[in-house]
Amino acid sequence: MEVPVFLVWIVLCNIQLSLASWWYLGVLGTSASLSRDTRQTSSVSVNEMCNNSPYLEPRQRELCAKEKRLIDVISAGASMGIEECKHQFSGRRWNCTTFNNTDVFGNVIKIKSRETAYIYSISSAGVMYSVTRACAQGTLIGCGCDDSVRKQGTEGKFEWGGCSENLQYGAKFSEEFVDSKEQIQDRNEFGLMNLWNNKAGRLIARKQVDLVCKCHGVSGSCSVKICWRKMRPFRAIGSALKEKFDGASLMKINKRGSKLRPISKDMKRPTRKDLVYLENSPDFCEPNLAYGSLGTRGRECKKDSYGLDGCNLMCCGRGYYTIVKEFTEDCDCKFFWCCRVECQKCRHVKELHYCN
């Protein structure tokens, strides 16, 4: 039997559309490349640019079109999330593989696993971070510093001043933008899992804040201390979420289909700051694009590590090969008055190990 061409087309389009995501903004980078991607000139209005982005949901297009610079800020947030994921997973079999197309992470996100949980949480946190910072820097028109902190008591230890970053605004925006991807679907178990992890990402990000202070007063005395709130580097959020990944809770949907709960009664209930998942992960040993795995052949591994980055686990028992590489570096440097440094070139060899 011959399958009508239009049916094949519809099926293919549905696959494309269901995976295509705003994450693609993080791959494209700036709005300049975005307008190139949609084959438009850079003079195009932000309205058109947002509306011609097929990987955005209708609500996301609306939000995107609100302000000209917003799309760059969201793109930067998406890209921060992707880069941080790659950093945190660089020593694991699945190393946050991305593909240069609109579905970005490939089929790995079809599995309701801990990896998917991390992707959702870090990208939700990325948008929150990027928007919050842009507000404080005055890049966006619709927001600014958080003046509400000034009402909080300081027990006379310091005075509020400067620009406290408005994490509440960033979180609200991220919620509206990122979560709208799930809300158009029926609230099935996967949708509930993704919304949970999006929120966990934002709640963890909210905790990664420091009080930064500056002293004023005659000759270095600190008679007046001015402080404001500032988010820690994004790395702190990536690491905190990686810990949540390690302790993520396996859940199932309740009988009424309205909530997630732990798979068994003896398990601790996760808090809203924990990551949750519904399916165990594949082992990612072999290449299999059906779940976004490139396998671990040719991956560098550590000979003496018993961890996931060690050759035993990384190579899935297939063994490894060793390549001796030579490096040159400066050594025996001497300082000559004034002002010259002379160094010898030292060569040393290093053994690198790769999976069979």
- Pull the structure tokens for residue 256: 């009424």
CB closer to ligand NAG out of 250 and 352: 352
**Rounded least distance, CB 347 to ligand NAG, Å:** 26
Does 100 engage in binding with ligand NAG (CB under 6 A)?
yes
**Stretch binding ligand NAG (CB under 6 A), from 106-114, 160-168, 190-198, 294-302:** 294-302
Q: What is the DSSP string of 194-225?
A: HHHHHHHHHHHHHH-EEEEEEEESGGG--SEE
Cis peptide before 339 (omega within 30 of 0): yes
Cα 182 from Cα 275, distance rounded (Å):
17
DSSP 325: E
Point out which span in 186-194, 231-239, 291-299, 338-346 binds ligand NAG (CB under 6 A). 291-299
C-beta of 37 vs 159, nearer to ligand NAG: 37
SS3 337: coil
Give the end-to-end CA distance of the chain in Å, rounded to a whole number.
44
Rounded to a whole number of angstroms, the minimum distance from the CB of residue 296 to ligand NAG is 6
Residue 233's nearest CA partner among 199, 201, 208 is 208
H-assigned helices in the chain = 5-19, 24-28, 31-37, 46-51, 58-64, 70-88, 114-136, 167-183, 189-207, 234-246, 311-314
Nearest approach in angstroms of CB 92 to ligand NAG is 9
Nearer to ligand NAG, 217 or 287 (CB): 287
Nearer to ligand NAG, 28 or 128 (CB): 28
In terms of Cβ atoms closer than 10 Å to its own Cβ (0-12, 13-18, 19+), residue 12 is exposed
Would you give the binding string for ligand NAG spanning residues 63-92, x where CB under 6 A is met?
-----------------------x---x--
Nearer to ligand NAG, 29 or 162 (CB): 29
Among residues 270, 105, 276, the alpha carbon closest in space to that of 193 is found at: 276
Regarding 299 and contact with ligand NAG (CB under 6 A), the answer is: yes
- The residue range among 126-134, 158-166, 197-205, 292-300 that interacts with ligand NAG, by the rule CB under 6 A, is 292-300
# residues contacting ligand NAG (CB under 6 A): 7
Q: Which is nearer to ligand NAG, 175 or 300 (CB)?
A: 300
CB 82 to ligand NAG: min, Å: 12
Q: Of these, 294, 301, 313, 314, which contacts ligand NAG (CB under 6 A)?
A: 294
Shortest reach from residue 177's CB to ligand NAG, in Å:
23
Pairing of strands 159-160, 224-231: parallel
Name the residue nearer to ligand NAG (CB basis): 92 or 206. Answer: 92
Which residue lies nearer to ligand NAG by CB, 120 or 284?
284
Q: Please answer whether residues 229 and 209 qualify as being in contact, where contact means their C-beta atoms are separated by less than 8 angstroms.
A: yes
81 closest CA partner among 48, 52, 123: 123
Candidate residues 40, 95, 139, 281; the one interacting with ligand NAG per rule CB under 6 A: 95
Q: Select from 253, 269, 275, 109 the least CA-distant residue to 186.
A: 253
Helix (H, G, I), strand (E, B) or coil at 341: strand
Residues that bind ligand NAG (CB under 6 A): 86, 90, 95, 100, 294, 296, 299
